[in-house]
């Protein structure tokens, strides 16, 4: 599979780049028709990253405002995969994987006494793209809790 990338000049001068770097700078990635799950996941990360700074709004599904599950649903829909609306329903729809097997584009689910309460898209290096809560914006952030699980979108 060939993936063509437009790499911004500043990034190209820096040398080797990661998918996280490409997503952060908003590099264009052209995917071939019938792209595999890895490509879908990479696209979802890029789409979530492109929403950096969008305000949180409870129940919002984009394209300008998001809540946590609205962001994941939006990113994967545009990458070609359907997800249910809530974090708990998304947890039930994904294939659960071990932390050691996580890859960029997997979903990260946060658990509390009441079950799954938050979801984000794994971006690599223990970081997620997510819409945290009222008064915040979509952002890249280090995973702050050990009470998480991971799910892969099929």
- The residue from 96, 111, 125, 130 that is catalytic is 130
> Is 68 assigned a catalytic role?
yes
* Residue 76 DSSP SS3: helix
Contact indicator for 59, 67 with CB cutoff of 8 Å: yes
Q: Exactly one of 68, 96, 111, 125 is catalytic; name it.
A: 68
Q: In what side-by-side order are the strands of the sheet with 139-142?
A: 95-97, 148-152, 107-112, 115-124, 127-130, 139-142
Compute the residue count for the chain.
154
**Residue of 6, 64, 96, 118 marked active site:** 118
**Is 6 known to be catalytic?**
no
Q: Sort 144 into a burial class: Cβ within 10 Å, 0-12 / 13-18 / 19+.
A: exposed
C-beta neighbour count of 152 within 10 angstroms? 17
- Which residue in this structure is represented by tokens 């952060």? 24
Q: Is 118 a catalytic residue?
A: yes
**Cα–Cα distance, 55 to 107 (Å, whole number):** 20
Q: Which residues are catalytic?
A: 68, 118, 130
């Amino acid at each position: 599979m060939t993936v063509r990338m437009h790499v911004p000049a500043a990034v190209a001068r820096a040398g080797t780049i990661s998918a996280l770097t490409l997503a952060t700078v908003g590099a264009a990635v052209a995917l071939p028709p019938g792209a595999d799950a890895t490509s879908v996941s990479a696209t979802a990360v890029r789409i979530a990253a492109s929403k950096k700074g969008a305000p949180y709004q409870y129940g919002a599904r984009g394209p300008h405002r998001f809540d946590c599950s609205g962001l994941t649903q939006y990113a994967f829909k545009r990458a070609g995969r359907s997800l249910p609306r809530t974090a708990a329903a998304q947890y039930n729809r994904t294939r659960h994987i071990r932390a050691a097997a996580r890859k960029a584009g997997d979903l990260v689910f946060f658990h509390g006494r009441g079950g799954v309460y938050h979801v984000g898209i794994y971006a690599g290096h223990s970081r997620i793209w997510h819409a945290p809560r009222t008064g915040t914006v979509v952002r890249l952030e280090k995973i702050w809790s050990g009470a998480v699980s991971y799910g892969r979108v099929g």
